[in-house]
Chain A
């Protein structure tokens, strides 16, 4: 009996340890919204997923357009994409939805499940809404219609339901988000709260008022409601004022100059050998081709980096910029070829001169940067295009030979190590908004106002202002070219071309990549939803455009 009691006691004492699990060291939905900084940590996470803008996103948004190309074997640059080879599409998809789920969670939990003060709640949820709209902006631009939801993924049942969502037409998503921002975000950003300000004036450059307005305008332009687009754009104008060199110097549009006044949204990066190390690698694509030991296509430029990986470089199509001088000695603009891709270049003459160096292999004289020609040209030519070392006029070998130019100092990352790009990615800025105003007025038929806004960027770049006489089709062409000159390389070009409905024709017409031209089909204007996702949805999601071909 004694033994029985002893054993029972041992048994009971052992069994008294609980099988309940207590989470150690992890935050949960229940405890992550106690303070403002905790709740803000959830919102902070929503920024993180902008990391999809690495190299291959640049290949998608810039290298497969009328202005740039890149000779690499990646599926994105040569448009070998298909549902089973979704290329950067899967990164865009995965990151955007991860961010959206996080935004939805933040909005729901901050508004309904936190004990924060109302003003704190309002500010944080509005910030999350603006970011959510940003990710849907990228999704709809990349895939057209996508599954659209704004609720929190509460549990597995919600998750199962969301997995069965079909594509919502892109414009429905855009309209819904326009309304969401107008109703739920804009009223929060008041003058009193200090949030109605340019991001450069906001602590931490956090997203808010300007980003919301910009996205609303982008959405409205996609669905073609020019009045709805102008409304937020004019609010932006009220905030930013006139775009000119004195308020917004062109030099500041360089991606290496961070968080300037013109900024609306830029993705923050920093990499130094001994400091902050947070980076992406689009900059590795926008540097000129690397010969090793700080030599870049024949020019010694240690300021760009001493220890780099060599990648295939982004290059301008001839249509964007052919390496011809700004002026002949007689003042005329020389024609290098009768091929229209040389004659109808968007950038026109470049700050270069013909040299006495006869290239027998090419059968022509070499061209080189000519500092005297800088004042004669679009200032952006030597910003957007990589011709050589502008300060010393040393010219890249392939530019000297009249081949394609590289991307320019605007996108270069100085002092790059390996492939760590420490530039901020300025994906939305005020000049874009100004050109959007011009486009909206033009579409409304008000060409004179349209020209006024278009001339803001032209004049800042040192060009003569346009007169109002060019007429509607001519104006639109001018606007498209102006966007190419102003925003080239800033990850808008493909979206613009698709929105204008001319992506396939223009890209096919002008691209210098034969691989791209042999693979591209009209369906490539949108990326396919990755096959794995279609399968998981039970083929509720399909890529009809791709299967028709």
Chain B
């Protein structure tokens, strides 16, 4: 497409070759990597004489003796003026034009558009900013770079991440955007199937007018990924190798043996202060052989390797791009990591001027060593954070958590268990493009995707927790997904001489996907050698847990879009999609999703011509409706579940249990979104500013509405409820310095989103995370009027510092306590505000403690060029969210676990009688969730830094084009008030509503990588 657009003016220029021909100048035009640029314009300043480069980037132009200046240009590159006086040969390297992206072609739904003609909200990721980053999956590089896009990851290598575009809107259904790769929807199950180096461009469509063409799939935004294709007539080979190391970025400030023993002595001393005030310390640190630093014991410096080879080119109408890559990323927790092999082949061939065919094939093979170590969360008796330093690496019991039960320490899990997941994936897509007459394009794209996932998990019989004769446990899980899809479009575009331009597109698509899951878990395998390879070796056949569940979803859609503009001043765009989906109920199979957008390019008006400093001034607005059908199959149908449960005659008999009632009206949830934006660029496009505001309402939520248990069912999936999101996004790009040998570019984004639950069917709150212990209070949850990701808890009221105060409180009822306290035993204990002063601390005293979502977030990218060096760094920030440090429920004053070191400053009758930190052993159980454990989740992070030096080898060699050496680092510095590992992780990637919950989350790593890239 790019080539075609270019050729038109080039041919035009050719015809205008001047008469004055005194000498011939030849040379070659190349891009910054030394690749020849075919079709680059070579022009004299009069604008009348010029030529274009041929397929090898070579040009030849006749110029006059007096001509001094020659201008070289190529779309998307900075135009270069070269003094050619007295020269007969000039080679030129054009640098990418980072400021002027206006003419860039942007991939949009079912087509492409010039950036200046966009009417919707589409963010284009600048690939050159992320291409040097050592990431195995592109989502890891994107956090903070696109305004309005929030990405959180589980932190583990190869682990899932969760992407939200412009906030969360669904509660039960997914909030993840649709991912389209080379025009195929759902082409990947996970972004980690694609090697980031293979990616040519990424567009993120955020507003409804852009995504409505995807109808019932578009409500959560759409990410369009285009992979590389062969472009250059000369074959190009790229070899890249990366090697690096990562380590835990931040550890926890927890006690070591000596401090911990002091803490345990404090508990006894405070408890027995009245009866034995002069008692000597009970425990002696010298009696304890261990001083285990649990986090250190299970983490390691981890290696990172990446090898990549690609070949691409385009000859005689055939374009090819082939790539192979191998990744090996160890996790910082011992035993975890991921190895990936991936390959891609993109072929295209033009059979005639009007018929071309594209074949894209890719495969990936992911072998993930899943983390086996329990870290924190609810693993109170065996999580690495909680284990006391006095416990040895392979101990079988936890004397601090005094329940006598045996444990597997995280170290023993790493050592003994085997746990990995192998996921091969294959994608094929074949498309035929017909261009029978100018402006008309007919395209049919047909695809087939296969994804399998195999999980292997084995617990040998010698795990510390196992009883004698218990045998080994083995688990196998297989997921087998297949999807067949077809997308067919016909489009026509025309520009009339009167200034009216229009383009229309119509199409239909259909897909059929099948999913099969099977699992088997065997408990009590007789032979450790059998692992999961011989499930027959089990003590009793009763101890198999076997499950299989198939499902199938069929979708059909018809869609149309029309765009119009008058002299690039007034734009109008409208689209409509009709979607049918099998997973909705018989009365509601089809839905309709319209959208419209308008744009006024003010700068293109006659009256703005005098404002020369201004290059673009666009005002645009859109409104549209999209849907979300992301629920499993069969959810509208009545069914029984099959279980194996009760014992008759000593054996478990099969049983049918009630699963669901029919819902003949179940349908998708719909999101209406309005978007308004202003885009400016000025000072010769050196400064570009875009401001967007949006308002969206999601209704008919696919909500698991709680039903009364009297009916035999706990909940039913209904279309009920309303959520809203509104916010703004600002992105600024500037070219601060632009000199031949030195350049400095800056890109800055800031976004704000306000998420609200307006109606969830009943007035009650809905907890999503509850506190541990015998009484469970809501910690995370939502209710009407509050955000989905709200934090709840008691208002911490400090410690009880004197008995009089305690006695007075019996009357005033200002505070409540975790347990019944008596005057003899109240000092130093934590107290909480009794909001309704009824003398009882209960659910009614919970208060809203903030929201997990930031107030503003974004990033700042800086890029410097000096000579052949390129230095870039990226700072990501997030300001204003809240996070619970779940581990503090135990590690901030309980008896059962190791403690944060701040507990050394806790209330103590002699050392620290004024402290508001609860006394040692404030509770024998978990603490009440309160404002005490809630922290500011704000952070500023030096996320990426890379320094690259490129040797322009083409100057000296006919074979090699360039060699670049890059040193890059990720997560190098973090400023955060949070006292956990990292405020920007989540342990709940699968949750639709929860973001940034730190329960057993994998700690984040700091990584430094050296890479070599050779191009020939």
Contact = CB atoms under 8 A, between A and B. Distances in A.
Interface of A: 3, 7, 10-11, 14-15, 17-29, 32, 38, 41-42, 44-45, 47-48, 72-75, 80, 82, 84-85, 93-94, 97-98, 100-102, 104-105, 146-147, 149, 153, 155-156, 159, 162-163, 165, 203-206, 268-270, 272-278, 290-292, 306-311, 417-418, 515, 518, 532-533, 535-537
B658 A102 contact: yes
Nearest to B397: A292
B471 to A, nearest CB: 6
A1 B669 CA distance: 40
Given A156-B661, A310-B403, 12 more contacts: A3-B436, A10-B444, A22-B552, A25-B550, A29-B640, A73-B819, A102-B712, A105-B712, A205-B649, A276-B543, A308-B405, A533-B709
**Majority SS of interface residues in chain A?**
mixed
A45 B657 contact: yes
B662 interface: yes
Contact of A41 (B655, B659, B661, B706): B655
Nearest to B542: A276
A240 B707 CA distance: 44
A10 B488 contact: yes
Contact of A21 (B540, B583, B712): B583
A206 B467 CA distance: 33
B648 interface: yes
Contacts of A97: 709-712
Given A102-B657, A270-B647, A533 B488 contact: no
B650 interface: yes
B95 to A, nearest CB: 44
A21 B925 contact: no
A17 B639 CA distance: 24
A102 B709 CA distance: 12
For the complex of A and B, the 6 pairs showing the least CB-CB separation, nearest first, are: A101-B712, A274-B539, A204-B648, A45-B655, A14-B510, A268-B647
Nearest to A305: B467
Interface in B429-468: 434, 436, 442, 444, 465, 467-468
B713 A73 contact: no
B701 to A, nearest CB: 17
B668 to A, nearest CB: 13
Contacts of A274: 469-471, 524, 526, 539-540, 543
Interface in B691-733: 706-714, 716
| Chain A CB within 10 Å, residue with most, of B548, B638, B709 | B709
Given A47-B646, A273-B467, A94 B508 contact: no
A19 B633 CA distance: 11
Contacts of B497: none
Contacts of A10: 444, 486, 488
B404 A268 contact: no
Contacts of B634: 21, 23-24, 26
Interface in B641-697: 641-643, 645-659, 661-663
Contacts of B714: 94
A84 B556 contact: no
Contacts of A165: 710
Given A19-B556, A25-B549, A268-B646, A533 B404 contact: no
Contacts of A11: 488, 508
B764 interface: yes
A147 B552 contact: no
Given A7-B488, A29-B638, A100-B712, A153 B543 contact: no
12 contacts: A17-B554, A18-B582, A19-B582, A21-B634, A24-B552, A44-B655, A146-B710, A153-B661, A268-B648, A270-B647, A273-B469, A306-B468
A147 B712 CA distance: 12
Interface residues of B, number: 92
Given A100-B712, A290-B404, A533-B708, A19 B650 contact: no
A275 B543 contact: yes
Contacts of A205: 648-649
Interface of B: 397, 402-406, 434, 436, 442, 444, 465, 467-471, 486, 488, 490, 508-510, 512, 523-524, 526, 539-540, 542-543, 548-552, 554, 556, 580-583, 586, 589, 633-634, 636-643, 645-659, 661-663, 706-714, 716, 762-764, 774-775, 819-820, 842-844, 925
B556 A93 contact: no
Contact of A19 (B405, B434, B580, B706): B580
A97 B556 CA distance: 41
A47 B643 CA distance: 12
Contacts of B648: 44, 204-206, 268
Contacts of B512: 17
A27 B711 contact: no
Q: Among the interface residues A21, A29, A206, which one has the most CB atoms of the partner chain B within 10 A? A: A21
A32 B659 CA distance: 13
Nearest to A537: B708
B539 A7 contact: no
Contact of A26 (B404, B442, B543, B639): B639
A36 to B, nearest CB: 13
B655 A276 contact: no
A205 B512 CA distance: 48
Given A85-B775, A275-B543, A309-B405, A21 B469 contact: no
A73 B774 contact: yes
A267 to B, nearest CB: 9
Contact of A28 (B526, B638, B646, B647): B638
Nearest to A310: B404
Contact of B645 (A24, A45, A292, A311): A45
Contact of A156 (B406, B436, B716): B716
B762 A26 contact: no
Given A7-B490, A19-B581, A41 B645 contact: no
Contacts of A537: 708
Contacts of A163: 707-708, 710-711
A311 B404 CA distance: 9
B651 A276 contact: yes
Contacts of B643: 45, 48
Contacts of B843: 84-85
Q: With a 10 A CB-CB cut-off, give which of B508, B512, B655, B710 has the most chain A CB atoms.
A: B710
A113 to B, nearest CB: 13
Contact of B711 (A24, A41, A101, A276): A101
Contact of A17 (B523, B551, B556, B655): B556
A14 B444 CA distance: 12
A271 B582 CA distance: 43
A155 B654 contact: no
Nearest to B586: A20
B662 A48 contact: no
B382 to A, nearest CB: 13
A48 B542 contact: no
A27 B550 contact: no
A14 B638 CA distance: 28
The listed residue with most B CB atoms (<10 A of its CB), out of A104, A274, A310, is A274
A101 B709 CA distance: 9
A26 B640 contact: yes
Given A21-B582, A274-B540, A535-B762, A84 B646 contact: no
B645 A278 contact: yes
Nearest to B774: A74
Contacts of B523: 277
A532 B658 contact: no
Contacts of B581: 19
B645 A44 contact: yes
A101 B539 contact: no
Given A26-B640, A85-B775, A98-B658, A535 B711 contact: no
Nearest to B640: A27
A418 B405 CA distance: 7
B538 to A, nearest CB: 8
A27 B638 contact: no
B402 A42 contact: no
B643 to A, nearest CB: 7
